[in-house]
Amino acid sequence: MPKAFNTEYLLYIDFDNTISRGDVLDSVVEKFAEGTVWQVLENEWASGKIGARACLDGQLRSIKATSEALASHLDSIIIDPGFAQILKVTHEHNIETAILSDNFDLILNPILKRFGFSHIACYSNHLERSGETFIPSFPYWNKDCPGCAHCKKTHFIPRGEDVRKVIYIGDGRSDICPSLNSDIVFAKDSLLAYFTKSGLSCIPYNDLTEVAEKLTHLIYDNITTH
C-alpha cells in the first residue's frame, strides 16, 4: 500500500529561475523569436498594460525553431542542485510536492527528463508544435485572476477540507498570486522584493540548497513564519 501523504505540509515550487538557473522561457523567446514583437509585448506586460497570458501567447506565437535547435538549446540549461535535496526532504517526509510553472510542457519536459525528475508532478501552460512554429494554450488560466497566465493558486485554493500548510518556493511575478495564498513562502529576487515592500513575512533564500536546509529545520522544529 502506498504510504499516506504527510498531513501537515504540501509543497509547491516554481521552475524558471527557481529550479532552473536563469529564466528558461525568457531564453527560449529571446533566442528563437522572429522580429521585435516579443519585446513590445514584454514591455506592455512589465508596465501592466497586458496580462501574462496575452504576453506569453504573442511571444510563443512569434518563435520559430526546429526540434533539433530547440532540443540543443534546452540541453544547455542547468538546474540548481539543491532541487534534488528538496526532493529528498519531501520524499523522506512524504510531503506531496509539485512544480507549478508559467513555462510550457514542451519546454519543461525534456529538461526534467534529462535530470531524472519526470516523476515529479508538474503543472504548466501547454505548447504544441506545428512545423517550426508553436501554438500555446493556457489550461490553468483563471478568469477571476486575469493577471496570471497559469494561475498557480488554483491548484490549492479553495482549500476545502485540506488542512495541510502550503509551502511555496518562488522568485518572480507569477509567484505573487500563489504566495499570497500560501502559509510558508520561500522568496528571492522580485518575489522577495514584493513581500518586503508589502510588509509580509517570508523566508528569504539565495539557492535551493539553503531552502532544503531551512525546510528540514522547519519540519523538525515545526517553526512557521506565521
In the complex, the residues that contact Zn ion under the rule CB under 5 A are 145, 148, 151, 177
177 binds, among Mg ion, Zn ion, none (CB under 5 to 8 A by kind): Zn ion
Residue 57 as a binder of Mg ion (CB under 5 A): the answer is no
Which is closer to Mg ion, CB of 13 or CB of 219? Answer: 13
One DSSP character per residue, the chain reads: -PPPPPSSEEEEE--TTTTBSS-HHHHHHHHHB-SSHHHHHHHHHHTTSS-HHHHHHHHHHTB---HHHHHHHHTT--B-THHHHHHHHHHHTT-EEEEEEEEEHHHHHHHHHHTT-TTSEEEEEEEEEETTEEEEE-TT--TTSTT-SS-GGGGT-S-TT--PEEEEEE-SGGGHHHHHT-SEEEE-HHHHHHHHHTT---EE-SSHHHHHHHHHHHHHHT----
Kindly compute the dihedral angle of the four CA atoms of residues 155, 159, 162, 165, in this order, to the nearest 10 degrees. Answer: 80
Among 12, 17, 25, 166, binds Mg ion (CB under 5 A): 17
Determine if 16 is a binding residue for Mg ion (CB under 5 A).
yes
Q: How far is the CB of 12 from Mg ion (least distance, A)?
A: 12
Closer residue to Mg ion in complex, CB, 14/57:
14
CA-CA distance, 137 to 15, in Å (whole number)?
18
Number of residues that bind Mg ion (CB under 5 A): 6
What residue type is 20 in one-letter code?
Answer: S
- What is the closest distance, in whole angstroms, from the C-beta atom of residue 91 to Mg ion in the complex? 23
14, 42, 57, 80: which one binds Mg ion (CB under 5 A): 14
Binding part of the chain for Mg ion, among 3-11, 12-20, 129-137, 210-218 by CB under 5 A, reads: 12-20
* Per-residue interface string for the shown chain with Mg ion, residues 170-209, x marking contact by CB under 5 A: -xx-------------------------------------
Are the C-beta atoms of residues 12 and 124 closer than 8 Å to each other?
no
Nearer to Zn ion, 143 or 197 (CB): 143
171 binds, among Zn ion, Mg ion, none (CB under 5 to 8 A by kind): Mg ion
Kindly state whether residue 80 participates in binding Mg ion, applying the rule CB under 5 A: no
Q: Which CB sits closer to Mg ion, 125 or 219? A: 125
Task: Give the Cα separation of 8 and 150 in Å (integer).
Answer: 26
The reply to whether 82 sits near Mg ion by the rule CB under 5 A is no
Which residues, 155 to 174, sit near Mg ion by CB under 5 A? 171-172
Q: Which does 17 bind (CB under 5 to 8 A by kind): Zn ion, Mg ion, none?
A: Mg ion
The letter for the amino acid at 43 is N
Interface residues with Mg ion (CB under 5 A)? 14, 16-18, 171-172
